[in-house]
């Protein structure tokens, strides 16, 4: 299998290319991620009020994230498989710890303060949940039997509820969809999927009842933002104004008035897409979507090339979750989804999300670059 | 696990997995299409709408009030101007310890606690970065005090703004008027883009009549603001257009002469340029200082003005109504000549009283022994009442009314000031309509000497005098000579009034009688006629404030000042080529010749001397 040609046709012409290959880096994926990260600096410079400090801080985080990605790419995927259950267990334990500490202290608690940096267990669980489900399902024959689906369902719902309880609806959705994606790629029958969707639809009133007031408000606001233009609808209205006023060509870099003049809240974090759309217009949006599509396509390709069930399921789930990330964030910013706290992947200001995301891509690269050895 | 079974299964699994990947791709493409459709909707279909909202979000229009036009007199002396005023303002955002700062300021300026409370109230309403006034108008002393300690007051600053100022105080307050704060009723009526940001509006006098011209055009600045409303920078500025400067026909020096000459009396002086109708003097005494009205007069001060016995707020020249008394006589005499009831050489015997046939009542002459034989000239010169009783009887009230009406009696002059009264020129029709009574002949008689129902305002009397001096060409008085805008000079429309038909020799007789009033030994105002190289034509008037009982004797010195007669005088000069016409009313002045005539004399002499010198 050393004469595997599908990868050989990609001949890096430079030393850097050779180095990257030695480091188990998938070059197309790396290029796309790197481009997106660069674009993130361009947007952050504008949305962050042209503050070099913001770029430096974010630069450090992105650098760390890329290092972590590279490190994970060195690990043989067999190791991920081996430690899936343990990592998942640690994640659940940490979530419980955070929850209990949150009840001792007051209000929402998502962090574990480790002194030199603050660690969010819900970020880790975003990866360990699909790992766990993939590991569990790969142990059995695919497609999964009802019993396995049931157990997998519990494995998914447990962290989801713990995170939703924090409360962090955005992350809960991402964790749930990461787990659900594994089930889907494992071949869960479409009948079953239809039944689940029907069940969720029927239980909507129950979910509504269990939601926090502010979460209900978000849904209400999403359904009718104009009803409360200066209150809860403010985010959505202002972001729609920002995007719409950008038009086809945009107002140009640093030309965003909505964020520049502080009309748009959270313009560097969850709502950064609005700033981007205002400055770079519809063409800019197409460009960014294309970049994301390339990343997703490459990730799915990697998944399709994987030989091992665990690797396939994990890789495809990571790829699909990345899309959910993109869709939920852009969807809420452009007003077709309720506002949930999901950052724009690889672009939004903040370290945790980019570290998790690039960790995921590190695993993807590991899966792609190690399989010849694993099979040999 | 069984490897054979496992491999077989692997192929099935592989196939299933690839199909799922494909399904996921389809799903992703579909969902992404949703995003793209929504983006197209927002950025192409809704672009215009959102672009407008974005502009409205960030751009605030701030009005820039224009500088108000300046009011000058005919010689370019400033009657109303804009002076800088200094206001002490605090910016809460920049003050670390507000209580400490306020305490120190209170000590520095010796402020009452109410001011501090007021400040706190205002502060609650304003945003932290907006400045709030603590002292609205600082005196020079306060300015100096603060200038020294300014470094110890970060966040406290002095702001300059324009305040209307009237340098002549009470001298021309009734003409120039004043501006005051816009009240709510006015706010509703003001044309809004033009008056955006305006705080004051003309309330009285020229300031009110010519508000539209004086105000100018409000400009505006498009200021980019952030979400809290803090101004960031000015994007675009449309400069305000300053108001037009207004030049009055008024001569403020002449006005001062007239005002001073009224001295302690209440009264009015109106002088008109005969050829043009331009008002030279429009004095009403007492006046008032209009300056407190600009910054907001205190309740007490206003009450004091409003309730003062002398009624300083009352524009006597415009609104005061007085019986014309004997000043009506030249006009009645002219009526007699024109209607051919009398002829110039004809004489009439005056025994000192006049009676209607079959009526016991004696209509007395002011000279107890009578004037003897008088012709029309002498009747005017000596102001013979009996002559005019007789003449009035011959003319009848209707003819008298019709003739006098041509001179503008009983009508508004149309001068460019608000609140003019029309006075009253009596007629049987009027009496029937108003009093539901028939006209008595005795009332005709006393109308002939300007008593009874007849009421004139000083400006009306001055206008009639000017019309007479102008040989019957009706004079329309006006105050504003020209309006100077940045685009050019606007002159008031040259009014060519109608000419009252009258024979020249009739007018000569009237003029002769009026010249003799000032220049003959028998004249009632002879004291003012000495030592001038031209002749003044005048007529005195003494109008009863209350009726004297039959047989009682009127003794000036014995009765209360408030009950003394009003003294009147009308005059024009030079008699051969009239340039100025004056009407003087002195309330409770006693006799017209001794009190009112000297005032007119001073005004005429000063005016003609200036005219001669220039």
Integer Cα distance of B185 and B453 in angstroms: 38
Give the Cα separation of B247 and B481 in Å (integer). Answer: 6
pLDDT above 80 (res A226): no
- Picking from B13, B35, B57, the nearest residue to A330 by CB comes out as B35
- Nearest CB to B35; choose among A244, A257, A327: A327
| CA angle A81–A87–A88, rounded 5-degree value | 100
B24-55 as b/e: b if 16+ CB within 10 A: bbeebeeebeebeebbebbbeebbeebbebbe
C-alpha angle A336-A342-A345 in degrees, rounded to nearest 5 = 105
Q: Do B57 and A261 touch (CB under 8 A)?
A: yes
Place of tokens 């006693």: B590
Per the CB < 8 A criterion, the answer to whether B18 and B11 are in contact is no
Residue with tokens 């030989």: A307
The alpha-carbon gap from B59 to the nearest alpha carbon of chain A, in Å, equals 10
* Alpha helices, H only, B216-367: 252-262, 291-295, 299-307, 316-319, 329-338
The per-residue pLDDT for range A108-146, each reduced to its tens digit, is 556 666 555 566 788 889 999 999 999 999 988 878 888
Here the ipTM equals 0.90
Using an 8 Å Cβ cutoff, are B134 and B117 in contact? Answer: no
Q: What is B488-543 written as a DSSP string?
A: EEEEPP-----B----HHHHHHHHHHHHHHHHSTT-TTGGGGTT-SS--EEEEEEE
Residue whose token pair is 């005088």: B569
pLDDT score recorded for residue B551: 47
When mean pLDDT is compared over A52-61, A288-297, B89-98, the highest value belongs to A288-297
Band (B442; pLDDT cuts 50, 70, 90): confident
Is B252-613 a CATH 3.40.710.10 domain? yes
Contact B229/A at CB under 8 A: no
**In which residue are the tokens 């077989």 written?**
B8
- Using H for helix, E for strand and C for coil, what is the string for B404-467? HHCCCCCCCCCCCCCCCCCCECCCHHHHHHHHCCCCCHHHHHHHHCCCCCCEECHHHHHHHHHH
On the question of a common fold for B62-248 and B252-613, the answer reads no
pLDDT computed for residue B220 by the predictor:
77
Q: Tens of pLDDT along B156-192?
A: 888 888 889 999 989 999 999 999 888 777 877 777 6
Sign of the CA dihedral with A21 first, then A27, A29, and A32 last = positive
Q: For B123-134, what is the HEC assignment?
A: HHHCCCCCCEEE
Taking the CA atoms of residue B17, residue B19, residue B25 and residue B31 in that order, the dihedral angle to the nearest 10 degrees is -110
SS3 B71: strand
> Is residue A9 a part of any domain in this protein?
no
Q: Which domain holds residue A126?
A: 25-375
Tell me what the mean pLDDT of segment B492-521 comes to: 85
What is the average pLDDT score of chain B?
85
Is the confidence at residue A228, as pLDDT, over 70? no
Establish if B231 touches chain A: CB-CB under 8 angstroms.
Answer: no
CA-CA distance, A161 to A175, in Å (whole number)?
10
Neighbours of B604 (CB within 10 A): 26
* pLDDT tens digits along B350-398: 888 888 887 778 888 888 888 888 888 889 988 888 999 999 999 999 9
For chain B, give the longest Cα–Cα distance. 161
Token pair for A44: 């952050």
Nearest CB partner across the interface for A285, out of B39, B53, B57: B39
Structure tokens at B267: 């009264």
CA pair distance B242, B256, nearest whole angstrom: 30
d(CA B146, CA B109): 9
pLDDT (0 to 100) of residue A340: 81
Torsion sign over Cα A41, A46, A52, A56: negative
Polymer length of chain A: 376
- Is B26 at the interface with chain A, CB within 8 A? no
Exposure on the CB side of residue B587, measured as CA atoms within 13 A: 19
User: How far is B403 from B333, CA to CA, in rounded Å?
Assistant: 11
CA angle B222, B228, B230 (to 5 degrees): 45
Least confident of A173-187, B13-27, B131-145, B225-239: B225-239
Minimal Cα–Cα distance from A116 to chain B, Å? 35
Q: For the CA atoms of chain A, what is the radius of gyration? A: 21
Distance CA B596, CA B583 (A): 9
And the tokens for A29? Answer: 């994926």
Residues 4-33 of A with CB under 8 A from B: none
Residues of A in contact with B228 (CB under 8 A): 262
> Could you tell me which of B10, B25, B27 has the C-alpha nearest to residue A301?
B25
Q: What's the rounded Cα separation, in Å, for the pair B376 and B381?
A: 9
Residues pairing with B268 in the sheet: B284, B585
* Residues of B labelled as active-site residues: 326
What does the pLDDT look like over A93-114, one tens digit per residue? 988 888 887 665 545 556 666 5
Give me Rg for the CA atoms of chain B: 38
DSSP label at A267? T
The CA distances from residue A152 to A47, A54, A82, A148, in Å, are: 41, 41, 18, 6
Q: How many folded domains does chain A comprise?
A: 1
The angle at the Cα of B459, spanning B280 to B448, to the nearest 5 degrees, equals: 135
Q: Residue B2 pLDDT > 50, yes or no?
A: no
pLDDT digits (tens, 9 = 90+) for B329-352: 999 999 999 988 888 888 888 888
Of the partner residues B38, B54, B57, the one whose CB lies closest to the CB of residue A334: B38
The closest alpha carbon to A38, from A14, A62, A21, A72, belongs to A62
pLDDT of B206: 93
For the B62-248 domain, the top CATH level (class) is alpha beta
- For residue B94, give the DSSP letter: G
The two tokens of residue B169 are 């105080």
Q: Does B304 touch chain A (CB under 8 A)?
A: no
Does A332 reach chain B within 8 Å, measured CB to CB? no
CB neighbours of residue A154 within 10 Å: 9
Q: Where are the domains of chain B?
A: 3-45, 62-248, 252-613
The 8-class DSSP code of residue B274 comes to: T
- Rounded Cα distance, B271 and B600, in Å: 9
Sequence-distant (≥ 6) Cβ neighbours of residue A315 within 8 angstroms: A299, A302, A303, A306, A363, A364, A367, A368
Relative to beta strand B71-72, strand B245-248 is: parallel
Best CA proximity match to B413, nearest among B458, B450, B459, B471: B459
């Amino acid at each position: 299998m050393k004469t595997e040609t599908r990868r050989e046709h990609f001949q890096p012409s430079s030393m850097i290319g050779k180095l990257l290959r030695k480091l188990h880096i998938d070059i197309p994926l790396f290029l796309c991620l790197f481009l997106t990260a660069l674009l993130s600096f361009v947007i952050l410079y504008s949305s962050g009020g042209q503050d070099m400090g913001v770029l430096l801080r974010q630069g450090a985080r992105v650098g760390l994230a890329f290092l972590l990605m590279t490190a994970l790419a060195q690990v043989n995927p067999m190791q991920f498989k081996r430690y899936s259950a343990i990592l998942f267990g640690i994640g659940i334990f940490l979530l419980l710890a955070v929850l209990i500490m949150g009840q001792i202290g007051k209000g929402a608690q998502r962090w574990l303060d480790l002194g030199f940096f603050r660690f969010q267990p819900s970020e880790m669980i975003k990866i360990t949940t699909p790992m766990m489900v993939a590991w569990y399902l790969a142990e059995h024959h695919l497609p999964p039997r009802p019993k396995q689906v049931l157990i997998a369902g519990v494995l998914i719902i447990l962290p989801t509820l713990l995170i939703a309880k924090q409360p962090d609806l955005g992350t809960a959705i991402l964790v749930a969809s990461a787990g659900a994606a594994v089930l889907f790629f494992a071949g869960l029958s479409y009948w079953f999927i239809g039944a689940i969707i029907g069940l969720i639809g029927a239980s909507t009133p129950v979910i509504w009842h269990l939601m926090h007031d502010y979460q209900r408000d978000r849904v209400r606001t999403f359904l009718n933002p104009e009803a409360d233009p200066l209150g809860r609808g403010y985010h959505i209205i202002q972001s729609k104004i920002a995007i719409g006023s950008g038009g086809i060509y945009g107002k140009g870099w640093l030309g965003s008035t909505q964020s520049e003049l502080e009309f748009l809240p959270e313009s560097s974090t969850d709502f950064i897409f609005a700033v981007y759309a205002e400055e770079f217009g519809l063409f800019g949006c197409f460009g960014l979507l294309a970049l994301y599509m390339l990343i997703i396509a490459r990730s799915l390709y990697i998944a399709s090339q994987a030989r091992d069930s665990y690797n396939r399921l994990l890789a495809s789930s990571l790829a699909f979750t990345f899309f959910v990330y993109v869709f939920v964030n852009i969807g809420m910013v452009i007003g077709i989804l309720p506002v949930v706290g999901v950052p724009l992947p690889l672009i939004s200001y903040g370290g945790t999300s980019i570290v998790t995301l690039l960790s995921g891509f590190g695993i993807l690269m590991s899966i792609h670059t190690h399989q010849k050895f694993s099979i040999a | 696990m069984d490897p054979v079974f496992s491999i077989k299964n692997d192929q099935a699994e592989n196939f299933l997995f690839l199909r799922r990947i494909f399904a996921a791709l389809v799903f992703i493409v579909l969902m992404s299409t949703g995003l793209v459709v929504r983006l197209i909707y927002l950025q192409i279909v809704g672009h215009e709408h959102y672009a407008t909202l974005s502009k409205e979000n960030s751009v605030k229009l701030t009005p820039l009030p224009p500088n108000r036009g300046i009011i000058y007199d005919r010689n370019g002396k400033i009657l109303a101007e804009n002076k800088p005023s200094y206001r002490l303002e605090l910016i809460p955002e920049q003050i670390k310890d507000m209580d400490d700062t306020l305490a120190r300021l209170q000590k520095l300026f010796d402020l009452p606690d109410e001011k501090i409370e007021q400040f706190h109230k205002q502060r609650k309403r304003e945003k932290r970065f907006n400045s709030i006034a603590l002292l609205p108008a600082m005196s020079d002393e306060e300015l100096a005090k603060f200038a020294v300690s300014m470094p110890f007051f970060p966040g406290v600053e002095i702001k300059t703004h324009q305040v209307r100022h009237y340098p002549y105080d009470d001298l021309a307050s009734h003409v120039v008027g004043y501006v005051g704060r816009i009240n709510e009723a006015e706010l509703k009526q003001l044309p809004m883009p033009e008056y955006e940001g305006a705080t004051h509006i003309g309330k009285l006098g020229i300031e009110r009549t010519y508000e539209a011209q004086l105000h100018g055009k409000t400009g505006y600045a498009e200021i980019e603001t952030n979400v809290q409303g803090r101004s960031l920078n000015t994007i675009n500025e449309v400069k305000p257009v300053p108001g037009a400067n207004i030049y009055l026909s008024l001569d403020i020096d002449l006005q001062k002469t007239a005002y001073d000459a009224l001295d302690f009396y209440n009264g009015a002086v109106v002088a008109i340029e005969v050829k043009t109708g331009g008002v030279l003097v429009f004095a009403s005494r007492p006046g008032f200082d209009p300056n407190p009205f600009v910054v907001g007069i205190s309740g007490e001060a206003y009450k004091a003005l409003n309730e003062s016995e002398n009624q300083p707020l009352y524009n006597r020249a415009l609104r005061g109504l007085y019986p014309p008394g004997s000043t009506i006589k030249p006009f009645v005499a002219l009526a007699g000549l024109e209607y051919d009831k009398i002829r110039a050489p004809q004489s009439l015997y005056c025994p000192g009283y006049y009676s209607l046939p079959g009526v016991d009542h004696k209509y007395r002459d002011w000279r107890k022994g009578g004037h003897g034989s008088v012709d029309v000239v002498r009747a005017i010169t000596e102001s013979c009442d009996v002559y005019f009783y007789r003449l009035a009887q011959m003319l009848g009230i209707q003819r008298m009314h019709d003739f006098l009406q041509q001179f503008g009696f009983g009508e508004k002059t149309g001068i460019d000031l608000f609140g003019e009264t029309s006075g009253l020129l009596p007629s049987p029709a009027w009496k029937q309509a108003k009093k539901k009574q028939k006209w008595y002949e005795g009332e005709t008689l006393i109308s002939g000497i300007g008593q009874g129902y007849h009421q004139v305002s000083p400006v009306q009397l001055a206008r009639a005098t000017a019309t007479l001096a102008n040989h019957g060409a009706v004079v329309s008085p006006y105050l504003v000579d020209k309006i100077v805008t940045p685009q050019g000079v606007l002159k008031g429309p040259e009014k060519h009034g109608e000419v009252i038909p009258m024979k020249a020799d009739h007018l000569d007789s009237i003029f002769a009688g009026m010249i003799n009033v000032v220049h003959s030994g028998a004249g009632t105002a002879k004291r003012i006629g000495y030592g001038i190289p031209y002749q003044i034509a005048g007529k005195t008037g003494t109008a009863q404030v209350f009726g004297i009982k039959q047989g009682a004797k009127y003794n000036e010195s014995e009765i209360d000042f408030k009950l003394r007669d009003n003294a009147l005088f009308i005059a024009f000069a030079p008699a051969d080529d009239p340039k100025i016409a004056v009407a003087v009313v002195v309330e409770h002045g006693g006799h017209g010749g001794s009190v009112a005539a000297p005032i007119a004399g001073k005004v005429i002499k000063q005016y003609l001397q200036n005219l001669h010198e220039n």
